[in-house]
């Protein structure tokens, strides 16, 4: 078990849209040393919120005003109370029990612990077109920004909250993760890839359209190569009046 005291507080941010049936594979397995769990609900039409509260009565459920995983993640991080933030998908494809690996990396001095599904063995349950697309995106990032990424699409990662506030993130969709990974490289943060397991989702379908999303991700990466240096502005997401509110 990861020792809680005197280490920084840990918040887990989970973005969810109609994941009622998959949450039982996620929430009960979040380690007991986690201080706060936030579920960002993206206008679910099933019983996602009810299931979340049933599985974890202490969960903090927030309702995002608009749409997109990127927007949900930015709001969730802004609302969190932890010093270290861990992001986790709600579809059950990642193991909550591997979270200590990410926290250890941050405590070892890394600024950002980025998950990867391609170190050790390839995720056989991932469709071939997604594996190929991920490799193209990683190769593009590595070529343009001199990174050594093996996976640029994993939604499992950890960072200190204060770091996140120093990065200007403009995307509100799934491509936010590519934007984030590229910008932390541009800003010369100390990044480590953390291998984690990957399993097939049991219920429902992915919220992304592979080809369209892949092209959008690629264009984001290329455009960031020509963009100017980051300016700290993510904190304005709250200051500009976009209030968070709890869904009851």
Q: Is residue 72 part of a domain?
A: yes
Q: Is residue 241 part of a domain?
A: no
User: Alpha-carbon distance 180 to 89, whole Å?
Assistant: 16
pLDDT, tens only, 83-131 = 999 999 999 999 999 999 999 999 999 999 999 999 876 676 777 888 8
Q: Is residue 23 part of a domain?
A: yes
Omega of the bond prior to 48 within 30 degrees of 0, cis? Answer: no
Q: Is residue 45 part of a domain?
A: yes
Instruction: Select from 237, 94, 98, 105 the least CA-distant residue to 153.
Output: 94
E strand or H helix that includes residue 186: helix 176-186
Q: Is residue 15 part of a domain?
A: yes
Mean model confidence pLDDT for the chain: 84
pLDDT, tens only, 10-38 = 999 999 999 999 999 999 999 999 999 99
Q: Is residue 245 part of a domain?
A: no
Q: Is residue 235 part of a domain?
A: no
Instruction: Select from 178, 91, 174, 94 the least CA-distant residue to 136.
Output: 178
Paired residues of 89 in beta bridges: 15
Sign of CA dihedral 164, 168, 173, 175: negative
Global pTM reads 0.84
Domain limits for position 193: 10-229
- Looking at 35-44, 112-121, 238-247, which range is the least confident one? 238-247
- CATH number of the domain bearing residue 140: 3.90.550.10
Q: Is residue 4 part of a domain?
A: no
Q: How many domains is the chain built from?
A: 1
């Amino acid at each position: 078990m990861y020792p809680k005291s005197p280490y920084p507080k840990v918040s887990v941010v989970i973005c969810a849209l109609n994941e009622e049936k998959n949450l039982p594979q996620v929430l009960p397995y979040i380690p007991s040393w986690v201080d706060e769990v936030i579920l960002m609900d993206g206008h679910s039409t099933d019983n996602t919120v009810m299931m979340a509260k049933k599985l974890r009565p202490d969960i903090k459920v927030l309702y995002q005003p608009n749409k997109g995983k990127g927007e949900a993640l930015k709001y969730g991080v802004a609302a969190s109370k932890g010093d270290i933030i861990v992001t986790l998908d709600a579809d059950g494809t990642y193991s909550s029990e591997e979270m200590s690996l990410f926290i250890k990396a941050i405590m070892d001095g890394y600024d950002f612990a980025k998950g990867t599904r391609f170190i050790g063995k390839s995720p056989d349950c991932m469709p071939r077109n997604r594996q190929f697309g991920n490799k193209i995106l990683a190769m593009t990032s590595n070529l343009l920004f001199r990174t050594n990424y093996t996976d640029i699409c994993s939604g499992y990662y950890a960072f200190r909250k204060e770091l996140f506030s120093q990065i200007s993130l403009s995307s509100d969709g799934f491509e936010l993760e590519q934007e984030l990974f590229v910008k932390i490289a541009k800003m010369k943060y100390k990044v480590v890839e953390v291998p984690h397991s990957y399993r097939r989702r049991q219920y429902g379908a992915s919220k992304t359209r592979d080809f369209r999303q892949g092209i959008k991700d690629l264009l984001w990466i290329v455009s960031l190569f020509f963009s100017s240096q980051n300016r700290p502005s993510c904190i304005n997401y709250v200051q500009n009046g976009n209030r968070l509110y709890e869904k009851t």
